[in-house]
């Protein structure tokens, strides 16, 4: 599997224009461009999502990442790549589409 490593400064959004950020700032020792590498242990929250369903607000509030078992870990948790499966969820845990990750510049390949 290959892809760009996600880190605390990676720009991630929901498919409706909201902004996804780590719920807590990753502070680990593994860093990319000075920002801590994101892992499956870091939950993401979404703010500013304008999504509605039949006129009723149904914003994305979180992102659920499914980190693959690539064998690459940081502080014991699988690292997140932009190619990892993920889903933005409403407060009722309704899937609302995959997050949009701004193109990264760092690539990692695991074989």
Q: Write the pLDDT tens digit of every residue in 48-63.
A: 999 999 999 999 999 9
What sign for the dihedral angle of Cα 81, 85, 88, 91? negative
Beta strands in the chain (DSSP E): 2-4, 12-13, 19-22, 31-32, 35-36, 44-47, 52-53, 56-57, 60-66, 73-74, 77-78, 85-90, 100-101, 107-109
pLDDT at 51: 97
Q: What is the pTM of this model?
A: 0.82
Phi, psi of 87 (to 5 degrees): -145, 135
Half-sphere exposure of 28 (CA within 13 A, CB side): 20
Higher pLDDT, 92 or 41: 92
Percent of the chain at pLDDT above 70?
85
CA gap 10, 102 in Å, rounded: 7
Q: Are 104 and 83 in contact (CB under 8 A)?
A: no
């Amino acid at each position: 599997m290959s892809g760009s490593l996600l880190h605390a400064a990676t720009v991630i959004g929901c498919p409706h224009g909201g902004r996804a950020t780590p719920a807590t700032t990753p502070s680990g020792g593994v860093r990319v461009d000075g920002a801590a590498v994101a892992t499956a242990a870091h939950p993401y929250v979404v703010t500013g999502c304008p999504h509605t369903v039949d006129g009723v607000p149904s914003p994305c509030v979180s992102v659920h990442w499914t980190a693959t078992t690539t064998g690459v870990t940081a502080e014991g948790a699988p690292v997140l790549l932009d190619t990892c499966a993920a889903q933005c969820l409403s407060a009722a845990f309704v899937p609302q589409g995959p997050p949009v990750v701004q193109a990264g510049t760092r690539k990692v390949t695991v074989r």
